[in-house]
Amino acid sequence: QSVVGEVAAVEIEFVELAKTLHDPRACEHCQALAASNGSGAAFGSGGVNENGEFAFAQPNHTQSGSGYAAVASPSSSAVSPLVKGAKWNSPGTDADHGNLTNALTYSYWDGTSPYNYTEGTRTTVESHGAGNQAAHDNVFSLWDAVSPFSIDKVTEDGDGDPVGDLRVAFTDGVPAGSAAFAYYPSSTATGGDIYYSTRIDTNGNAVDFVDGEYNWVTAIHEVGHALGLSHPFDGGSKDGSTLNLNLDFQRNTVMTYVQRDRNYTLSYNNVTGAASIGTTHTSTPGLLDIEAIEAIYGSAGWDYNNGNDNVYGGGADGFVALNNNYEGIRTIVDSGGTGDTLDASGVTATGSIINLTPGTYSSINYYATQADKINAVVTNGSQAAKDWFTAQLANLDALASASNSYYTAYTREAL
C-alpha cells in the first residue's frame, strides 16, 4: 500500500548536489556579463538576468501574441516565492484555442529549424524515444488546464516559421548533476525554451516522460519555469522571498526540490522475497503552482472543466481511476459548475478522507492501522518481510512529528 505525499527533486540530482559545480546559469558574474552584451536590462535579485546565459539574439520566429511583460509580486507569502517577475504578455484566453495569433504556442525542435543562440549540441525530443512528443504534449495540457489561456502546439517545418513561443529539445549542454533547465518568459530568442539533458534518456527508444516518474515531474517543473514560476526556496523570486519550510514540498508545488516521507511506496515481491522502498512522484502542478499562475496571469477567461456534474475518480474523462491500485499525487482542476463528484467507490481499503472544499486535500485508499498496511502488502510474506515493513513504517512515523505534520487533524495512520 502506498503512503503518498510530496515528492521530488527535479533539476538537480541529489547525489550530485554537494559536488562543486560552476553553473553559468546560476552565476551572478556570468549572468551580469550576459546582461551587458545586449540581452536587455537585468532585473531581480543579485543582478541575475532573467533571459538566461546566452540571451543575446532577438527571436527569428513569427508567432505573435506572446511578448514579455513584468509582473508585480503578490501579497501572499505562500505565493510570492513562486513568482519570478516575468510573464507572457497578452497570451489570450482559453477561448483562443486554435487561434495561433493569440494563443501561447509551443513546439518541439525538428532538427533543422534554426536557433539564434548556442546551447550545446541539440537533439530532438522524439529521437530519444518514439512517443516522447505525445507524452510531453500531456505535460503542456496540465499547464493549459490551470492557465486562463490556451497553450497550443505548432509544428516546426525547417525554415524557422513557425516555431513555438516555448521550444523543447534535448542537449548535451546541461551541466553535470542537472536533469534539465528552462528560460523564463522574455522577448529574446531564449525566452520559454526548455532543454532536457541527454543523460535522462535511460529508456532507449521507449518513452522518457511517464506519468508519476522522475522525468515526468521534471517536465512539469521546467514548463512551470517557462511560464514564469521560480523555485520557492532560493530567493530567486521577484521580491526575494522564500516559502515557509512547512509548505515547501511537492504536495503544494512542483517547483520545489524537497523530498520527505509522504511519497514513499513500500513493495514486497512474494515470488523473489525482495522488499523495497520507492518514490511516488506527483502527476500535476500543485495547489500553490495554480495560485501562482493566477497571481501572474489572472483568472479571466479560464473555463477548464467549468460545466456541471463532472466526475473524478471513475476512470472516465481522462482522469485516473481511484481504486486499490491507485498510487499518486494529483490536483483536481475544476473552474466552475455544480454537482461535481469525487468517486472513490473503487477503493476497498479501510477508508478515504474526502474534502471537496477548494484548496483542500483528500487522502484516498489509506489503512487505519500499521497492521492493516503490512497485511495488505505482505499477504503471504515472510516474518522477515513483515519486520522490514514494520521498521520502515516506524521510521516514517518518527519523521511525521507534530512540527512536521501536514494533516493536523489526523494521525499518521490515516495517511
List pLDDT tens digits, range 155-197. 998 888 889 999 999 999 998 888 999 999 998 889 999 999 9
Q: What is the pLDDT of residue 387?
A: 78
Please compute the mean of the pLDDT values over residues 350-363 and round it to a whole number.
79
Q: In this structure, what are the phi and psi dihedrals at residue 148, rounded to the nearest 5 degrees?
A: -85, 20
Pick the closest to residue 324 from 384, 286, 372 (CA basis). 372
- As a whole number, mean pLDDT of residues 205-234 equals 92
Q: In this model, does residue 3 exceed pLDDT 90?
A: no
> Is pLDDT larger for residue 26 or for residue 326?
326
Range with lowest mean pLDDT among 148-157, 193-202, 319-328, 405-414: 405-414
Q: At 32, which helix (H) or strand (E)?
A: helix 28-35
Q: Residue 345: which residues within 8 A CB-CB, separation 6 or more?
A: 313, 314
Residue 21 in this model has a pLDDT that exceeds 90: no
Q: Which of 63-72, 104-113, 125-134, 333-342 has the lowest mean pLDDT?
A: 63-72
pLDDT over threshold 90, residue 285: yes
Q: What's the mean per-residue pLDDT of the chain?
A: 74
pLDDT score recorded for residue 30: 34
Average pLDDT over residues 343-365: 79
Highest mean pLDDT among 96-100, 150-154, 246-250: 150-154
Phi, psi of 20, deg, nearest 5: -70, 130
Residue type, 389: F
| pLDDT at site 378 | 61
Highest mean pLDDT among 9-13, 46-50, 287-291, 353-357: 287-291
Choice among 4-18, 247-261, 274-288 with the minimum mean pLDDT: 4-18
Rounded to an integer, what distance in angstroms lies between the CA atom of residue 357 and that of residue 196?
A: 37
Asked if the model's pLDDT at residue 38 lies above 70, the reply is no
Q: Are 143 and 104 in contact (CB under 8 A)?
A: no
Distance from C-alpha of 45 to C-alpha of 230, rounded to nearest angstrom? 12
Model pTM score: 0.77
Q: At a CB cut-off of 8 Å and minimum separation 6, what does 383 contact? A: none
Q: Which three cell numbers stand for residue 100?
A: 495561433
pLDDT of residue 409: 36
Please give the average per-residue pLDDT across 102-116, as a whole number.
Answer: 92
DSSP 237-256: STT-----TTT-STTT-TT-
Q: How confident is the model at residue 120 (pLDDT cuts 50, 70, 90)?
A: very high
Average pLDDT of the segment spanning 394-400:
67
By the 8 A CB rule, do 309 and 356 touch? no
Question: C-alpha cell of 5?
Answer: 505525499
Domains in the chain (CATH in brackets) are: 11-227 (3.40.390.10)
Cα 145 from Cα 335, distance rounded (Å): 9
Written as one string, the DSSP assignment of 262-295 is GGEEEEE-TTT--EEEEEPPPSS--HHHHHHHHH
CA distances from 99 to 105, 168, 182, 306 (A): 10, 21, 25, 21
Q: Are 353 and 342 in contact (CB under 8 A)?
A: no
Chain centroid to CA 262: 17
β-strands 166-171, 194-197: how paired? parallel
Contact (CB, 8 A) for 192 and 166? yes
- What pLDDT band is residue 22 in, cutting at 50, 70 and 90? very low
Angstrom distances, CA of residue 137 to CA of 134, 141, 167, 271 = 5, 6, 12, 38
Phi/psi-derived region of residue 200, left when phi > 0, alpha when psi is between -120 and 50, beta in every other case: alpha
What's residue 312's pLDDT? 81
Mean pLDDT (whole number) for 243-247: 87
Angle CA 249–296–190, to nearest 5? 90
Alpha-carbon distance of 123 to 353, in angstroms, equals 45
Partners of 89 in the β-ladder:
67
Q: What is the pLDDT of residue 220?
A: 96
Give the model confidence (pLDDT) of 290-314 as tens digits.
999 999 998 887 777 666 777 888 7
For 41-72, the pLDDT digits (tens) are 222 222 223 333 222 222 333 333 357 688 88
pLDDT at 381: 60
CA geometry: angle 183, 95, 289, nearest 5 deg: 40
Nearest alpha carbon to residue 251 among 329, 197, 177: 329
